[in-house]
Amino acid sequence: MTVRIGLIGAGGMGRAHVERITNELAGAQIVAVADINLDAAKAVAEPLGAKAYADGKELIADPEVDAVLVATFGKVHEESVIPAIEAGKYVLCEKPLATTAAGCEQIMAAEQKVGKKLVTVGFMRRFDQAYREMKELLEAGDLGYATLVHNRHRNPSVPEGYVSRMAIDDTAIHEIDTMRWLLGEEIVEARVDRPRFTSKRFEHLNDPIVVVMKTESGVLIDDEVNVNIQFGYSIECELVMEAGTARLGDQERIHVRDGHGDRNKICNSHIDRFHAAFNQEVQEWIRAVAKDEHTGADSWDGYAAAVVVDAAVASLEDPEGKPVKVEMIDKPGLYA
Amino acid sequence: MTVRIGLIGAGGMGRAHVERITNELAGAQIVAVADINLDAAKAVAEPLGAKAYADGKELIADPEVDAVLVATFGKVHEESVIPAIEAGKYVLCEKPLATTAAGCEQIMAAEQKVGKKLVTVGFMRRFDQAYREMKELLEAGDLGYATLVHNRHRNPSVPEGYVSRMAIDDTAIHEIDTMRWLLGEEIVEARVDRPRFTSKRFEHLNDPIVVVMKTESGVLIDDEVNVNIQFGYSIECELVMEAGTARLGDQERIHVRDGHGDRNKICNSHIDRFHAAFNQEVQEWIRAVAKDEHTGADSWDGYAAAVVVDAAVASLEDPEGKPVKVEMIDKPGLYA
Amino acid sequence: MTVRIGLIGAGGMGRAHVERITNELAGAQIVAVADINLDAAKAVAEPLGAKAYADGKELIADPEVDAVLVATFGKVHEESVIPAIEAGKYVLCEKPLATTAAGCEQIMAAEQKVGKKLVTVGFMRRFDQAYREMKELLEAGDLGYATLVHNRHRNPSVPEGYVSRMAIDDTAIHEIDTMRWLLGEEIVEARVDRPRFTSKRFEHLNDPIVVVMKTESGVLIDDEVNVNIQFGYSIECELVMEAGTARLGDQERIHVRDGHGDRNKICNSHIDRFHAAFNQEVQEWIRAVAKDEHTGADSWDGYAAAVVVDAAVASLEDPEGKPVKVEMIDKPGLYA
Amino acid sequence: MTVRIGLIGAGGMGRAHVERITNELAGAQIVAVADINLDAAKAVAEPLGAKAYADGKELIADPEVDAVLVATFGKVHEESVIPAIEAGKYVLCEKPLATTAAGCEQIMAAEQKVGKKLVTVGFMRRFDQAYREMKELLEAGDLGYATLVHNRHRNPSVPEGYVSRMAIDDTAIHEIDTMRWLLGEEIVEARVDRPRFTSKRFEHLNDPIVVVMKTESGVLIDDEVNVNIQFGYSIECELVMEAGTARLGDQERIHVRDGHGDRNKICNSHIDRFHAAFNQEVQEWIRAVAKDEHTGADSWDGYAAAVVVDAAVASLEDPEGKPVKVEMIDKPGLYA
């Protein structure tokens, strides 16, 4: 069975998904593309012989669309996700699920009405082989339980439009989800520390910052968000267990030895670093849809990330940077 | 366009290709499977809704087969490859192209009659991202030209049926092809050195050995073939240039720090190490076939590997281990 | 000129200094040993033909003693250091300079009376080649100024007598001094975070903890103190600058590739890790004394470490773990 | 007891030994310096209050000289070493012991007459901590016996006066001695392979070359001598055992992460790389002399290196580069 996918949002991320589904992955094809800019939709759809829509809801209603891929702006995710749920179609929604906790709750309400998990949130790091090996090692238990996790999220630079809260809701949100998944527990508190800021930033930006979080069992997580580090895109993670540690490698393929030393390359962007993880995510989603199953992060994961983001932003905006408790609703039975 | 592939040879390698084409790659499907053991062919074909044949030639003749994947024993490759060429169909033939130089010459003769390169030899390392980065670095030229290359081909162990010449025609053949491709020149001489043998081998086996080769421009290549090294499958390569070196990394994803030190894993088999390279090879072949183009190692490459193997085996069998010149026919224009 | 050294305190650390001065370093000899246990003093002194004293003050008064090495318990350092200053003799005092800020102030008062810096505090990491290269890199300025420093102080295990505040006044005190020296600024605030504790600790101990500090310019320092990590003695430090980072290597000499992976050894104790730094410290001190010069950490450094320890301990003992300001006297002109 | 050392040869190497004995090592002092250029001898001797001689034999005869350090040109080593032996004084002679096998035999004859091993040849790598760990690992036996050793001896560049045979008698001689010591067996055959030469060399020089050697038990040793590699002084060694390998690390102290990647420094010269090994060698020699004991490489080791050099040079000069057997005299009982 070939899964017939409709894409909503023909921007860069959407086109990258079209590219991988068409040329790198098995079992699916893009049959429809929607964008509020119809020309943009057509530009993607036509070479594939797919239909183009100006309205995502029409695409969702199209009976030839088996499943929906949402790659619009975060603020309008709900507009596509909720109708897709109501139509009983699986959705792969780019992160964040919604930009507010309330939005995530509405999505969960819609899913609960249907009585079925249909939404996968695009937290692709869960599909990265390195994080997966780290999780396997933790779960094997030979090195004991986790006590701390140290994260670094470093980008070469960010444009002027990147504002301080994006360090949390756009950047650290990846570590927030990944840590919940890795440790298998909820984050209960968040705090933001402010180091000396770099002169490489735009004046208005707090950069770097450190987001410090605690889980239910007490695991202490820190996440250095440092988005003007110049030298590359560097996602680092060290899991500290009772009797050992594990850290992500650089995924480097060759080592060069020359006048700069013995060295390996640091990649430049999340596309380089997570290309395989994106592919793995979409491939596993295609296979799951074909079997009428759910895979990956669900709506509760999207909600949990949103409320941790809210707590961290509150600490960021607090003049004293105090720790803020994470307030969550009870988890609906569907997500147990 | 979906490329319709017929597989000849339903053994382990063939089934691995079926798996990747069906579940991991875009643009192709398996429509027929042939094996002299018809039940084996059926076992693979039926779950896919593909046809089963006892005779590869019937599969080749099937008009619904666009392209042929040959994964039979090396000794019978020609039986499938030549008819496929005559039928004008693209062939991906597992290495070796043929087990004798004469066999390779017959294949080239068939291709020349058709006037078109149809055969891709399954030297998958050309599609490995690490070797590709090494080749790009060499070709960029910043570190000068190559002077030496040091290779290690280490396997955890080999079964009793693995005899001394297989260290060359089954194992070192990978480095032979990869070095020709990496350096862009022919190998003109080969010699086999015998170190102290390991006690972990079966008595009849020369292990380890070192294959030493020279290229047209004088680049000196050594290849330590060490197939009972116990600890893992370890493919190492260091390219020495005039002003720097590059070596393959371990492709490790995490580093663990525990009572054994700070360490990364060594993989266990060529399947672990080259899974992505095999996928890349077959994916690029599918795309090329769809565009009526050739990709990867061609029949000349298969022939060149065969004659270098012959020279190295002659040195291995020489009591004094003298260097042996590689004797080649002139390269037909088709492969220029 | 051979510097004639008197040792006060014939315990393990004292004997290690005797060993290095006698067998590994140039330019000095041990001429006297004092210990409240006179037999212990004699056991060290006699093989060297040195004198033995039960009272450190007599040793200090001995005109054949040019300089004094204090290796007694921290609580009684002042009893030796102040008389040595009054006698106008150079002192190398093991850390801490004194166990209270008040004690350090008295030592500074004695030095100010003499009008000369005579005291070197045994913070040996300042003499470690790796930390020195890190400091040179920072000061070279190519990668910009420091924004954060991440430290790990991991010990395989600690005995039952090791109590929670020792994680700060005995363990983290090394990072406190090293960070002040590396960054060239004072620490102005300290806070202690409590991760999930390891089950490998004695019940009474808070372990691991994270000491978080801030400097005058805002550099954020974290120090994971994790003293039952089982696997080895692991001193890690990552200095984050505006355009790059630097971290300590493992100082490993060989890499082994076997069934545990590709790996290097983690050392077991501070003696393994800092043997060369201890030697360098004492050798530089001997040379300085011979030239009537001061070297290494001075009494102000000892005092500054003490007041940062006090702030961190206050945060550790605060039920909410609030950050605590570091309160310092004005720096006397002698230490400018 | 302070060992009173007389230095013969006040060039760079001799002065480096004076520096270390005076300022970095315990238990010795330089009491006399001889050089055919008396002014050079005086320039070194006077600041130390040592005597100066124009004739090494007078220095050897000086009753205040306990032991002799020979750092003259290789060709005149015998002139100093033999009289020192005859005077019954320990000698530390820089490598090579003598430039001919015959010269080494004369030195051994002199020692046999005295009936005592007095000569230590300055093969300092035996004192390098990394090689020592490698040897310990081999001898521990957990990874089985050695089968191969791969060496790289890379220098940034060499001056025009460096001729082809120096790649063996001045450069590879270090690996020749180190391999004999590491493996505990004699080398029985040597061959020189010629890769493509680098354009960075002076025209007259064969560079790089590979010296291939075999030991009694059959261990195959290769040594890439590559003395214009531009990027640094890089001494690499990989010992291959039956069930694992060990290789020298870069002895790096910090890792930098910046626009050039994640990297560590390559050192620039043998002085950087082997400073600690030189110190360890001379310190152990001083301690041995004080106890009337021999340490380090002896005259037989110096002889064995000379005859392996002769075989390798013969292969280098053979137009076909054939392997050459190493011809040795029987080992005198003194060296058993």
Fold category of A3-121 in CATH: Rossmann fold (3.40.50)
How confident is the model at residue B34, as a pLDDT? 98
pLDDT tens digits for range D45-83 = 999 999 999 999 999 999 999 999 999 999 999 999 999
D236 touches chain A (CB under 8 A): no
D260 touches chain C (CB under 8 A): no
In chain D, what residues touch C17 (CB-CB under 8 Å)? none
pLDDT tens digits for range A103-142 = 999 999 999 999 999 999 999 999 999 999 999 999 999 9
Å from D155 to nearest chain C CA?
Answer: 20
In chain D, what residues touch A156 (CB-CB under 8 Å)? none
Q: In angstroms, rounded to a whole number, what is the distance separating the alpha carbons of residues C91 and D62?
A: 40
A329 touches chain B (CB under 8 A): no
How confident is the model at residue D228, as a pLDDT? 98
End-to-end CA distance of chain D: 30
Q: Do residues A187 and A211 make contact, with C-beta atoms less than 8 angstroms apart?
A: no
Å from B149 to nearest chain C CA?
Answer: 21
Full DSSP string of D31-61: EEEE-SSHHHHHHHHGGGT-EEES-HHHHHH
Contact at CB, C257 and D247, closer than 8 angstroms: yes
Q: In angstroms, rounded to a whole number, what is the distance separating the alpha carbons of residues B42 and B51?
A: 8
Task: Tell the residue number behind the tokens 């007598």, with chain if given.
Answer: C161
- State phi, psi for A105 to the nearest 5 degrees: -65, -40
B166 touches chain A (CB under 8 A): no
How confident is the model at residue C233, as a pLDDT? 97
Contact at CB, B249 and A252, closer than 8 angstroms: yes
CA dihedral B71, B72, B78, B79 (to 10 degrees): -120
Q: Do residues B91 and B118 make contact, with C-beta atoms less than 8 angstroms apart?
A: yes
Å from B91 to nearest chain C CA?
Answer: 39
Domain boundaries, chain A: 3-121, 126-269+304-330
How confident is the model at residue B321, as a pLDDT? 93
Q: What is the mean pLDDT of residues C72-84?
A: 97
Q: What is the CATH number of domain C3-123+276-298?
A: 3.40.50.720
Token digits of residue C309: 């320890």
Candidates B200, B220, B229; nearest CB to D195: B220
Residue of chain A nearest C198, judged by CA positions: A242
How confident is the model at residue D324, as a pLDDT? 98
pLDDT tens digits for range A131-168 = 999 999 999 999 999 999 999 999 999 999 999 999 99
Contact at CB, C258 and B234, closer than 8 angstroms: no
Whether the CA torsion B243, B248, B253, B254 is positive or negative: it is negative
Mean pLDDT score of chain A: 97
Pick the CATH number of B3-125+276-298 from 3.40.50.720, 3.30.1490.20, 3.40.50.300, 3.30.70.3040: 3.40.50.720
Q: In angstroms, rounded to a whole number, what is the distance separating the alpha carbons of residues D77 and D14?
A: 13
Q: Do residues C304 and C180 make contact, with C-beta atoms less than 8 angstroms apart?
A: yes
Task: Please give the interface size between A and D, counted as residue pairs whose CB atoms are below 8 Å apart.
Answer: 46
Candidates B26, B133, B244; nearest CB to A24: B26
Q: What is the CATH number of domain A126-269+304-330?
A: 3.30.360.10
Pick the CATH number of C126-268+304-325 from 3.40.309.10, 3.40.1260.10, 3.40.50.720, 3.30.360.10: 3.30.360.10
Q: In angstroms, rounded to a whole number, what is the distance separating the alpha carbons of residues C313 and C104?
A: 17
Contact at CB, D259 and A234, closer than 8 angstroms: no
Residue of chain D nearest A263, judged by CA positions: D263
Task: Tell the residue number behind the tokens 């006399």, with chain if given.
Answer: D32
In chain D, what residues touch C27 (CB-CB under 8 Å)? 23
Q: What is the mean pLDDT of residues A284-290?
A: 98
Å from D306 to nearest chain C CA?
Answer: 29
A: neighbours with 3+ CB pairs under 8 Å? B, C, D
Contact at CB, B256 and C261, closer than 8 angstroms: yes
- State phi, psi for B310 to the nearest 5 degrees: -60, -45
Question: Could you say which DSSP state residue A284 is in?
Answer: H
How many Cβ atoms are within 10 Å of A319's Cβ, its own excluded? Answer: 5
pLDDT tens digits for range C292-309 = 999 999 999 999 999 999
In chain B, what residues touch A257 (CB-CB under 8 Å)? 244-247
pLDDT tens digits for range A177-220 = 999 999 999 999 999 999 999 999 999 999 999 999 999 999 99
Fold category of D3-125+276-303 in CATH: Rossmann fold (3.40.50)
A266 touches chain C (CB under 8 A): no
Full DSSP string of A160-184: TT--TTHIIIIIIHHHHHHHHHHHT
Helix (H) or strand (E) holding A40: helix A38-45
Q: Return all residues near A17 (Cβ < 8 A) that are at least 6 apart.
A: A7, A69, A71, A278, A282
Candidates C231, C256, C258; nearest CB to B258: C231
How confident is the model at residue C285, as a pLDDT? 98
Q: In angstroms, rounded to a whole number, what is the distance separating the alpha carbons of residues C103 and C99?
A: 7
Question: Could you say which DSSP state residue D68 is in?
Answer: E
Give D126's pLDDT tier (boundaries 50, 70, 90). very high
Q: CA distances (Å), C143 to each of A195, B113, C216, C239, in order?
A: 17, 63, 20, 11
How confident is the model at residue D1, as a pLDDT? 73
Candidates A232, A259, A264; nearest CB to D231: A259
How confident is the model at residue A1, as a pLDDT? 73
A28 three-class SS: strand
Q: Do residues D4 and D50 make contact, with C-beta atoms less than 8 angstroms apart?
A: no
How confident is the model at residue B1, as a pLDDT? 73
D149 touches chain B (CB under 8 A): no
Residue of chain D nearest A250, judged by CA positions: D262
How many Cβ atoms are within 10 Å of C139's Cβ, its own excluded? Answer: 9
Residues with pLDDT less than 70, chain B: none
Contact at CB, B258 and A251, closer than 8 angstroms: no
Q: What is the CATH number of domain D129-269?
A: 3.30.360.10
Examine the pLDDT at D125 and tell me if it is beyond 90: yes
Whether the CA torsion A227, A230, A236, A238 is positive or negative: it is negative
Q: What is the CATH number of domain B126-268+304-335?
A: 3.30.360.10
CA angle B187, B243, D196 (to 5 degrees): 30
Helix (H) or strand (E) holding D74: none
How confident is the model at residue B121, as a pLDDT? 98
pLDDT tens digits for range C90-128 = 999 999 999 999 999 999 999 999 999 999 999 999 999
Candidates B232, B260, B262; nearest CB to C250: B262
Residue of chain B nearest C261, judged by CA positions: B265
Q: Do residues D309 and D169 make contact, with C-beta atoms less than 8 angstroms apart?
A: yes
Q: Return all residues near D320 (Cβ < 8 A) that are at least 6 apart.
A: none
3-state secondary structure D111-144: HHHHCCCCEEECCHHHHCHHHHHHHHHHHHCCCC
Q: CA distances (Å), D106 to each of D95, D110, D111, D115, D323, in order?
A: 16, 6, 9, 14, 28
Whether the CA torsion C13, C15, C18, C23 is positive or negative: it is negative
- Put simply, the chain A residues between 199 and 228 with a CB less than 8 A from any chain B CB are none
Of C112, A58, D336, B310, the residue nearest B326 (C-alpha): B310
Q: What is the CA radius of gyration of chain A?
A: 20
The β-bridge relationship of strands C261-264 and B261-264 is antiparallel
Tell me the β-bridge partners of C34. C8, C53
B195 touches chain A (CB under 8 A): no
How confident is the model at residue C1, as a pLDDT? 73
Q: In angstroms, rounded to a whole number, what is the distance separating the alpha carbons of residues B40 and D168?
A: 60
Q: Do residues C240 and C221 make contact, with C-beta atoms less than 8 angstroms apart?
A: no
ipTM here: 0.96
B247 touches chain C (CB under 8 A): no
Contact at CB, C226 and A240, closer than 8 angstroms: yes
Do D3-125+276-303 and D129-269 come out as alike in CATH topology?
A: no
